[in-house]
Structure 1
Amino acid sequence: MANDTGREAVKTVPETAGEDQQVQERIRKQIASELNLPQAKVKTTVTLLDEGNTIPFIARYRKEMTGELDENELRSIEERLQYLRSLEDRKKEVLRLIDEQGKLTADLKASIEKAGKLQEVEDLYRPYRQKRKTRASVAKERGLEPLAGWILSQPRRGSVLEEAAKYVNAAKEVPTAEDAVQGAMDILAESIADDPKVRAWVRRHTQDHGIVVTAAKNKEQESVYEMYYEYSEPVKRLPPHRTLAINRGEREDVLKVNLDVPADKIHEFIARQYIRGDSAAKETLQAVIADAYKRLIAPAVEREVRGLLTEQAEEHAIRIFAENLRNLLLQPPVKGKVALGVDPAYRTGCKLAVVDETGKLLEIAVTYPTPPNNKVAEAKAKFRQLIDKYRVELIVIGNGTASRETEQFVADLLKELGRPELQYIIVSEAGASVYSASKLAQGEFPDLDVAERSAISIARRMQDPLAELVKIDPKSIGVGQYQHDVTQKRLEESLGAVVESAVNHVGVDLNTASPSLLGYVAGVNGTIAKNIVAYREENGKFTDRKQLLKVPRLGAKAYEQCVGFLRISGGKNPLDGTPIHPESYGVVDSLFQELRLEREQLGTAQLKARLQEQQPEELAPQLGVGVPTLRDILDSLQRPGRDPREELPPPIFRTDVLKLEDLAPGMELHGTVRNVIDFGAFVDIGIKNDGLVHISQLSDRYVKHPMDVVSVGDTVTVWVLGVDEKKGRVSLTMKKP
C-alpha cells in the first residue's frame, strides 16, 4: 500500500537552483496573498519543502519556523507552489515557441509573464500554436489573407464581392468571388476565435449566464437519472454532486447534455471589438462574428466550462472523501478485547476468525446458520466453543450479504448465553474483500482462503481501525461520493496524504507495526518499511530509536523525518515511547534538571502535577527552546503513550436486533454516522440499511454542508421521521421533536 515516491528525503517540489530569484519571490508573494498568510511563513515553508522535509514533520517539529502553520495550510502552500512553478515552466516554453516563430513582441511577452493561470497562458499562445489543417489554413494557402485584411480594414467605399473578384483563381481552387469571400471569412473567423480577450470574455459570460440543459436519449428507459430527463440549471448554481451525476449519465449514454447561452450579447461584445461604424464590409464582418462564435468559440468554451465544472466538482468530492476517510481512520480502537470476526454469507457459510487482544490470529472456523443450510444448532455449538475457549468479549460482524440474518442469530445466542459482558457490533466490511485478495493478505496468511482472511480483517478493524484500514486501497473503504467519477491520480494523491496525516497524528509502534502502516510514516517509503520489519525479525525488538540508523536505506534525512512518529514501549529510553523528537531530548534533560525530576518518573502523578504547574512562555527562554515546541514536550511528558483516538467516544455495542418493522415515527435511537455526503448523512441505527438524515434535518439552524454538523464515526441521537418498508429506507432527523 505504501507509495515508494516522495517520502524518503525526496524533494516534494522542483529545485530552485539556477531559477530566477525574482520569479520565486513573486510566486511566494502570490501564495501568501491567495492563502492570506504572512510572506515570512510562506518563504520558510517553501525553503523547508525544498530541503526535502515532509508535511507531517514540518507541522509537528518545525512550528517555530513556520509560525505554527497547520497541516492543511502547509499542504495548500505545497499545492500552490507546485502549480505556480509548473505555470512558470509553461510560460518559458510558450515564450520560446513564439520567439522561434519571430512573433514575440514586448507586449505579448509582458502579457504572458503577467498571466496568473494556465488558461490565460494557453489563450495567449493559441494564435501561434501549430494547428492541423483548418478551413482558415486552406484559405491562407490559396492566397486569401490580403482579402481578409481588406475586409478587416472596413473601407467606406467599394464592394466585398468586387474586391474578392481579384482573387478568383481556378488553379488555386478559388473558382468564384463568393468562394474567395468565404475563404477570407474563414481566416477572420479563426483569428477572432483565437483572440485571448474575446475567449476570456465569452468564457466568463458563459459561466455567469449559461444554463446546463439535460435530456433523456430514451424517455421510456427507467434509470437512476430520471430526474435529469428534462432538466436545466444555471452553470453558476449547479452543485458538485449534480455535475458528477450528469457527467456519469452522459458517459453511460443515458443523457444528452448541452450548454445553453443566448448568443446576442456575445455577438454584440465581439462586434464592439471588431466593427467600427458603417463600412462596405460591415455585414460580412457580422456574418464572420456569428460563424466564429457558433462554429469555433462556443464548442470550445462549452468544453472548457464543463471541464471547469467537472474539475471543481471533483475537487469537492475528493475533499469530502478525504475528510470522511480521516474521521474513519481516527476512530477509537477497542483495546484489550479478544474478538470473534464474522464474515457472513448464505450458501458458503459464515467464516469465523478469533484474534487476541493484539490482533494475532488464534483460530479459523466456518458455520452455516443462515439459509439455505440453516444449521443453527451446529453453528451455536461452534460459537459457544470458540467463545469459551478463548474468552471472547466482542463479536464483530461484517455488514455485507447475510449480515442481518447473522446478527439475529448472534443476538439469539447472546440471550441464551446470558453473559452481559459479551456484546456484538456491525462494522462496514467495505474493502475487506479487496484486502483479502491482495498480495499483502496472501503474504500475511498464505494458507487461508479469501473469506477467511476477510473475517480476520473484520475483527481487526474494530481493534485498531487505522492499522487495519491502511492495508486497503483508500478508494475501496466506502466513505466517498462519486469516487469512481473523479480523476483517479488526484484522488490517490489526496487520500494518500490523508492516510499519511492520520498515521503520523496517531504515531506508530515500531515493534508491532506492519509494513503497510510503516509505509505511511513521514520519511519512510515502501522499501524502507519492509527493511524495518526485516531488521526487527532478524535482530529482535527495537530497544532504542537510534537503531533505526542501522536499517538499510534509512539514511540521516529519513531518520530525522520519521523518528518522532515511531514509538518504542518499554525501551532503554522512556522518551522513545513519546512523540518527543530525539533532537529535543537535551531540552527534556535540561527541563528535568531545572525541576529536579528523573526520567524514570515518567507517567507518575507527581511528575504530571509538577509539569502542569509550568508556564511555557516563562520556561522556554531558560531552556533555549521555542514556546510551541516546549508546549508539545510538556504535553507529551504528562501523557506518555497517549493515543489521541482514545479521547473520542467509543463505538456503540449491541446485544439485540432492531428490525425495520420495529420502527415508528418519533422513535428515539442512537446511531453511528457511516458516511457524510453533500445532501446529508447516513447513520447506522442497527437495521439492515443505514438511515438518512437529510441536510434539512441535521439542525434547527441553517446548514451549509452536512460536515459542518457531523463527521464519520460520530455517535448521534436521531428520531425516526418515516419508514418505507417496500424500499427498506428510513428517514431520520436530528431535530428533537
Structure 2
Amino acid sequence: MDSVKRTGKRKLPDSSDVSKKLVSKSKKLKVDEKEQGEAKKQSKITKKSALLDKNDAGTSAVDVVEGGFDFASSWDEAELLSNVEKVPRKLAQNFVKLLTDGCTLPFIARYRKSAVDNLMPDRLQELFESYQNVCAYKKKVKTVLETLKKTKKLTPEIEKSILSAQNLAELDLIYAPLKTNSLSLAERARKLGLEQHAIKALNGAYLDPSSLCSNDEELATPDKVEAHVTHIVADIIYKDARVLEQMRLLKDETRFTLQSTRTKSSLKPKENADNKRYETKSDPETYKLYFEWKCPTHFVKPHQMLALNRGEDEKILTVKVIVPDWYYNKLERFCLSLWKSSHWVKKGLTDAYARLIKPWLSRQVRSELTSAAHKEAVKTFTSNLEKYLLTEPVKGRRIAGLDPGFKAGCKVGIIDKDGQNLDACTIHPNFKSSHNEDPAFRQLKNLLEKHGVQLIGLGNGTACRETESWLKNNSISSEIPIVIVPEQGASIYSISKEAQKEHPGLDPNLISALSIARRVLDPLGELIKVDPKHLGVGMYQHDIPPKQLEAALACVVETTVSLVGVDVNTASHALLRRISGLNENRAKKILEYRSKNGPLHTREDIFKVSGIGKVTYQQCAGFLKVTGGNEPLDATVIHPESYAVAKAFAKKLELNLKDLTKPDFPAKFERKLSSFDLESFKHEMQVDGPDMELIVSAFKQKSNADDMISFSKPVYSISVQNTEQLKDGMSLTGNDCCLRIYIVK
C-alpha cells in the first residue's frame, strides 16, 4: 500500500524529456558506431597502404591481398572510352548512358544528335565498337583479378600492375606467367627461399651465390643459385607498374620494322601421282612479293598486313618484328634509376627482355597492325555495303532481270511496277550469230513486247559483257535502257527458305533473275534479304574475325534501313526486322497484327502490337511511317516526342499540317520561314538545334521523300567495250565515280 502511494505521488517525467533523452542516446550510439567504422576503415587503408609501400620499396611480393578491391570505382567505361577514342568525356558519358538506356545507333544518330555533338553514324559505329571492347576488357580484368585471388596469387604489386594495364596485350604480359598450373621460373625460385635474397640484392646488398648453395639439386652450384635469383629479379622488374608504363611509352616512340621471308617447308614440293604440289594450302608464288620483304611498321598497308597473316597461317611466310637496340638501352637506363644494384638490374632485365618483354613487343606490334587492318577492311565492307544498299530505286517501271550465262543459258525474270512476278524463263543466246538467225532473240523480243518491259537489269556476273554486246547487236539496248546490276548473293538468296516461300515451286535459277530485276526496282528491300557477307563488297573477308564483320555489317544494314524508313503497313518482314528497336519476333508480331486488324492508322497503334513497350516504341517509331493515316506527322521523320513542337511551329507559321503531303506545301513553308524568327522560337520552346533542324527538314521534303539520305545512281550501260568506242565529251558512270571523256587529237 505504501509502495503504491509512493508510486502514485512520484512525478512522471515529461514525454518530451524522454524523447530528447532517447534521441540524444541514439545520436551518441550512431556517432560511436560511425567512429568505430571509420577506425576500422582507416585501419584497412593503412594496412593496404603499408603493403603497397612495402612492395614499392622492393620487399616481399608474396603478401596475398585478402580484402576485396573496389573494381567498379577504378574502372569507368566512359572515361576509358574517352581516352581510347580521344573524345570529350562528357560526350562519352552521354553516349554510354544512351546505350545503357537501350538506345540504338540509328536512334542516337537521328534523334539524340545534341547529346553526341552531331556525330555521323559511321563515327558512332566506331565509338560503339570501342565501347564493346572496353566492356570486354573490363570483364576480362575482373575475371583475372578474381581468378588470381582464388588461387592466392594476387599480390598488391600484381594488382597494381593489372589495373595499370591499358589493353589485352599488356594484361597478357602480366597474367600469362600466372595462369598456368605449373610454376613459373620465378615461382620455382621463390619456393627455394631465394626471394628475400633477390630483393636485397636488387636494392644494393651484396649477394654471394656460393653462400646459398646446399644439398638441394636446384641449389647445388653457384651458377644455379645465380640463375634462380636472376629469374626472381626479372619477374620483379617486368611486373613493376612503372616499368610497364615506361615500356608502353618507349613502344609508342619506337620505329619497328616488319620483315617476312619464305619458309623452308614451302620450298619442298610434294610428289603426287598426277602432278607436283607444295605442302601448303595455296601456291606459294601467290606470296612472291613477300619472300624477301621488309618495311617500317608505320608504312605497312592494311592489305599487306592481311596478306602477311594469311601467308604465315598457310606456313608459306615467316613474319617477325625487328626491335631496334635503342629500345633495350633506354629501358635499361630507366630500370637502373629505380633499383640500386646495376649488376642484378642488367642480369634481370636481360633475362626478362629475352623471355618476356621482346615477345610481348612483337605480339603488341603485330596485334596493333592486324587490328588496324581488320578495322580498315571492315570499314571498306561497311562503306561499300552502305553505297550498295542506297542505290537509287527505279520506280514505276516494268523491269526484266537477266542473269547471264554460257552453258546454262540466260535466265529471264520479268516483274511489274509493284515487283510481282509476271514471267520467267531461260533463253540460250548464240553470241556469234545475227539476230535473224538466233531463236533466243525472237523469244526475248516477244517476252519484252508482251509485258511492256521498260527497263532491263543485267547481272554483272559471267557472260555479262557478251550478253550486253548481244543485246546491242540485236538492237534491244537501243530501244530499252539497260542497268548493270551487281548479282552477288542472288544465287544464295534463290535457294533460301524465304525465296522458296515467296516463289513456291519456281526454279531457283529463275528466282535469281527475278531478284536481279527487283534490285533495280527496290534495291534496299531486295538486298536485305541476303546475308551481307554474301554481297561481295570487300576484301580479305575470310581473314577478318567473323563476329566483328557480321556485327559491323548488321549495324550498317540496320542503320541504313532505319534512316531511310519504311511504311509500317506495307513493309515486308525482311525490312521490319532491320528497323531500330525491332527484331525477328517483333516484326512477325506486326505482320500478324496487320493481317488480323488491317492497317495501322497512327504510330500510336504500334503500342497495340504484342511485345512492343515504351522503350521499343521510342526506338522504332520515328523510322516507321504511316501514310494516309489520321496524323499527318506520322508520314514524316519527325519523332512523336517532337510532335508538340512541330504542331506549335506550324501554328506559328499559320500552316495547316493536313496539307503536309500536298506538292505546294514545301514552297509555302519556305516562304513563311524566310520571315520567321526561328531562334526565338527555339528558345521559347526550349528545343535543341538538331531537333529543330529535323522538323524544318521534314517540312521541306517533297512527296515524303527523305532528302537527308543521299542515294547513289544506278549504273546504266552504254556498251563501251573498247577505246575505239569512246567519243569526245562522253560520260561514263561507275559504282563510285563519273568519268568525263576528252579525246586528245
How high is the TM-score relative to the length of structure 2?
A: 0.77
TM-superposition CA deviations, 1:53-83 (whole Å, max 9, x none): 2222233233455554443454455444444
Q: Which residue of 2 aligns with 1:456?
A: 514
Correspondent of 1:300 among 352, 360, 368: 360
- Confirm whether residue 642 of structure 1 aligns to residue 698 of structure 2: no
Matches within 5 A, 1:80-229: 80-96=130-146, 113=163, 116-123=166-173, 129=179, 132-141=182-191, 145=195, 148=198, 152=202, 158=208, 160=209, 162-163=210-211, 166-170=213-217, 175-198=220-243, 201-202=246-247, 205=250, 208-217=254-263, 218=266, 223-229=285-291
Whole-angstrom CA distance in 2 between matches of 1:267 and 1:622 = 65
Matches within 5 A, 1:222-371: 223-263=285-325, 265-266=327-328, 269-270=331-332, 273=335, 282=343, 286=346, 289-370=349-430
SS of the aligned residue for 1:224 comes to: helix
Whole-angstrom CA distance in 2 between matches of 1:401 and 1:645 = 36
User: For residues 618 and 21 of structure 1, do their structure 2 counterparts lie closer, same or farther at Cα, with a shift above 3 Å needed?
Assistant: farther
- Confirm whether residue 390 of structure 1 aligns to residue 451 of structure 2: yes
- Confirm whether residue 61 of structure 1 aligns to residue 111 of structure 2: yes
Whole-angstrom CA distance in 2 between matches of 1:111 and 1:83 = 20
Whole-angstrom CA distance in 2 between matches of 1:411 and 1:617 = 58
Moved more, 49-58 or 582-591: 582-591
Correspondent of 2:616 among 545, 558, 563: 558
- Confirm whether residue 576 of structure 1 aligns to residue 639 of structure 2: no
1:185 CA drift (Å):
3.8
- Confirm whether residue 52 of structure 1 aligns to residue 102 of structure 2: yes
TM-superposition CA deviations, 1:14-63 (whole Å, max 9, x none): xxxxx998668x54455456656555554444333222122222332334
1:342 CA drift (Å):
0.9
Whole-angstrom CA distance in 2 between matches of 1:426 and 1:469 = 15
Are the equivalent residues in 2 in contact too, given 1:95–1:104 (CA < 8 A)? yes
Matches within 5 A, 1:344-493: 344-370=404-430, 377-415=438-476, 419=479, 422-493=480-551
User: For residues 237 and 200 of structure 1, do their structure 2 counterparts lie closer, same or farther at Cα, with a shift above 3 Å needed?
Assistant: farther
1:222 CA drift (Å):
5.4
Moved more, 533-542 or 513-522: 533-542
1:532 CA drift (Å):
1.9
CA RMSD of aligned residues (A): 3.8
1:354 CA drift (Å):
0.4
Correspondent of 2:690 among 628, 631, 646: 628
Unaligned runs of 5+ in 2: 1-69, 269-282
Whole-angstrom CA distance in 2 between matches of 1:38 and 1:147 = 49
TM-superposition CA deviations, 1:609-666 (whole Å, max 9, x none): 33113243233455564443333223213324114488656334235x32247478x9
Identity %, equivalent residues: 32
SS of the aligned residue for 1:382 comes to: helix
Moved more, 435-444 or 318-327: 435-444
Whole-angstrom CA distance in 2 between matches of 1:246 and 1:52 = 40
Matches within 5 A, 1:488-567: 488-567=546-625
Q: Which residue of 1 aligns with 2:121?
A: 71
What is the one-letter code of the residue matched to 1:169? D
What is the one-letter code of the residue matched to 1:212? L
Moved more, 240-249 or 201-210: 201-210
Whole-angstrom CA distance in 1 between matches of 2:439 and 2:121 = 53
SS of the aligned residue for 2:259 comes to: strand
1:475 CA drift (Å):
1.8
Whole-angstrom CA distance in 2 between matches of 1:426 and 1:315 = 30
1:564 CA drift (Å):
1.5
Q: Which residue of 1 aligns with 2:274?
A: none
Whole-angstrom CA distance in 1 between matches of 2:220 and 2:164 = 46
Q: Which residue of 1 aligns with 2:67?
A: none
What is the one-letter code of the residue matched to 1:273? C
Bigger relative CO (Cα 8 Å, ≥ 6 apart): 1
What is the one-letter code of the residue matched to 1:641? N
What is the aligned residue count? 653
How high is the TM-score relative to the length of structure 1?
A: 0.78
Are the equivalent residues in 2 in contact too, given 1:649–1:715 (CA < 8 A)? no
User: For residues 542 and 353 of structure 1, do their structure 2 counterparts lie closer, same or farther at Cα, with a shift above 3 Å needed?
Assistant: farther
Whole-angstrom CA distance in 2 between matches of 1:336 and 1:289 = 75
What is the one-letter code of the residue matched to 2:455? L
What is the one-letter code of the residue matched to 2:451? Y
SS of the aligned residue for 1:269 comes to: helix
User: For residues 275 and 57 of structure 1, do their structure 2 counterparts lie closer, same or farther at Cα, with a shift above 3 Å needed?
Assistant: closer
User: For residues 513 and 489 of structure 1, do their structure 2 counterparts lie closer, same or farther at Cα, with a shift above 3 Å needed?
Assistant: same
Are the equivalent residues in 2 in contact too, given 1:203–1:305 (CA < 8 A)? no
Unaligned runs of 5+ in 1: 1-18, 675-711, 721-735
